Structure 1
Amino acid sequence: MSEQDESGAEPPVGNPVLRWAAGILANITVITALLVYFGWQRADVMAAELGIDESVLGMSTTDYVLRSVGPVLVLLVIVGVAGLLWLRLDHTLAPRVRADGRAGRLVRRSLLGLSAAWLILPLLTWLLWLPFEEQAYVAMPFAIGAGLLLTMYGTHLRTTLPGAQEGRSLTLMWTFAAVIAGVCLFWGASNYAGVLGVSLAHDTVAADLTKVTVYSTKRLNLAAGTETVLPAATDKKDAFQYRYSGLRLLNRTGGHWFLVADTWRLRQGVVVMLPDSGSLRMELGG
């Protein structure tokens, strides 16, 4: 890039590729959208594994964000550490490029590797697919995005070589790269959320869930649990006349209780949905 833009103003200090990548990750809108999308994707996959549709859960945007904060923070920490390592590489390599040019062996090899990074990183991830299928499935989108960013970084370094011509189209290239990198970020988060959703569903064991006893003023005809009529209360119109035991709390969201039987197994039982209602009373535990 030139030392001054067309307006004559000095450009910001630092590597433009790093500034641009950090600007994307530090954008609160991007992070919020990532949290919401991650939470929705995980809930959608988990619900599908449990045999229900995610839409019946009635989860809000806040629910999605709160349920995805932990995993997304881990993801962002990994990306942040990778960014620090990249910054360290830039502090070591950039001065060598400007000082030695192509005459330096380190510079030549580094520029060659960076030029092919868009292919090398996805290829290495693909080679790890068989022994580490789940990890490679999550890592592949990030490998594509990281490879593209490294290739863009190599392109920038070439513009700093002694005697190099100004890269007039780099700004436009970064714009298109930003679109691809953003897609890769959400694609990778989607894969990660899907893996977590499947894992959460398969790790759900009815015996580990909270016991629930439901009392109702009317017969519910539930497909799960054991119904008991309470004869002592039959003389009162609004009394709780039926008790349903043998149930476990799967989730409570969107103003509904989602219950399963004690004997529930994945893909071998129903999920009962009951609304918050004055005609129902829930007793938890015991």
Structure 2
Amino acid sequence: MTAPPPDPATSLDRLGQVAGSVAQVVAPLSVLTALLFYFGYASSRARYLYFGVDVDTIGLSTQDYVMRSPEPLLTPLLVLALLAVVVAVVHERVHRRVQAALADAKSADPKVAAAGRDRLERGSRGARAVVATGDALVVVGVLLLLAFPLWGGWAYYTLVTPLLMAAGAGLALYGRRIARSLESAQQRSALVTVVLSVLLVISVFWATATFAEWSGRGAAREAARHLDRLPAVILDTTERLHLTSPGVRETTLEANEGQTFRYRYRDLRLLIQGEDRVFLVPETWDASDSTLLVIMDDSVRLQFRFLNDPP
């Protein structure tokens, strides 16, 4: 007996299921990659801007930025994880009390029912207070946004503003949820929930991006304080560079037949290497010095110096 031919409709259904499953995996991965790229870019941009280098001139790839994103994201992710644990613990306790109060309010015993209704009333007042506090924090955050021309120069503006709005949106959402569980007549406003949820996500994103920039700037300052930790470089060139940094030593190489390199520079450190260029800084770099850009072609020669630490 020969097997019956496959049903085209069944094959198409299976293909559709596979495509749907792949889309469910690919879409979150694409969003995650985009987020990692952005935070890695924001941190790298702040880091190398400290040395006067525009990160776009380095030529880093998307993978480079993604690989640089864990450092600035570590602290925000830990904070969010701890907040999630705290919220989960608080919500569990509140949920148990709400369920107990609702059960007591339906008791056949008048005293127990009255006590349950009293607890529900106190819980409703507490939920409304949480909502009012959240709304107030959101209003303060919006006022700070409107006051950007006056307060935009404040060092903590870009962190305080989104944190206020994120805290306010979170409290308002949770307070409304508890109020609906306590009050049967409480109507759910889908529009308000969506707006607050979008505001919460945007505020968390803004705060995380700000921390990524601060992390990059902090890493740059740490590197500037300890340039001796960067790879040491000896640079040979065909022409004199006329460097102004006092810590860089220049020596003239002996002129030999076939020798194209005439000058050698020591006491340089490798800051970052791109696709076809490297950025060097003096070993005793400070804010008055300049970062050296070296294009990797036949006119320069790089030597990486071993550390003076015998194996």
Same fold (TM over 0.5): yes
* Whole-angstrom CA distance in 1 between matches of 2:29 and 2:74: 13
| 1:202 shift after superposition | 2.4
| 1:178 shift after superposition | 3.1
| 1:199 shift after superposition | 1.8
Name the SS for the 1:192 alignment partner.
helix
| 1:82 shift after superposition | 0.8
Q: What is the match of residue 46 of structure 2?
A: 45
**How many residues are treated as equivalent by the alignment?**
247
Equivalent residues of 1:210, 1:285 under 8 A apart = yes
**What amino acid does structure 2 have at the position aligned with 1:112?**
A
Output one character per residue of 1:223-257: Cα deviation in whole Å (capped at 9) or x when no partner. 2533333225x3116x5443222211111123321
Taking the TM superposition and a 5 Å limit, the aligned residue runs for 1:80-91 are 80-91=81-92
Taking the TM superposition and a 5 Å limit, the aligned residue runs for 1:1-286 are 28-100=29-101, 103-104=118-119, 105-120=122-137, 138=159, 140-167=161-188, 169-170=189-190, 172-203=191-222, 204-205=224-225, 206-216=227-237, 218-219=238-239, 221=241, 223=243, 225-231=248-254, 234-236=256-258, 239-266=260-287, 268-286=288-306
**What amino acid does structure 2 have at the position aligned with 1:63?**
D
TM norm structure 2: 0.68
| 1:49 shift after superposition | 2.2
| 1:30 shift after superposition | 4.5
Output one character per residue of 1:205-225: Cα deviation in whole Å (capped at 9) or x when no partner. 344433210124x22525253
Give percent identity, aligned residues only.
26
**What amino acid does structure 1 have at the position aligned with 2:125?**
R
**What amino acid does structure 1 have at the position aligned with 2:75?**
V
RMSD of Structure 2 on Structure 1 (CA):
3.1
| 1:98 shift after superposition | 4.8
- Of the structure 1 ranges 113-122 and 184-193, higher mean CA displacement relative to structure 2 is found in 113-122
| 1:192 shift after superposition | 0.6
Structure 1 residues 106, 135: CA separation in 2 closer, same or farther (over 3 Å shift)?
farther
Equivalent residues of 1:213, 1:243 under 8 A apart = yes
| 1:36 shift after superposition | 1.7
TM norm structure 1: 0.73
* Whole-angstrom CA distance in 1 between matches of 2:47 and 2:139: 28
- The runs of 5 or more residues in structure 1 that have no matched partner are 1-26, 127-132
- The runs of 5 or more residues in structure 2 that have no matched partner are 1-27, 103-116, 145-153, 307-311
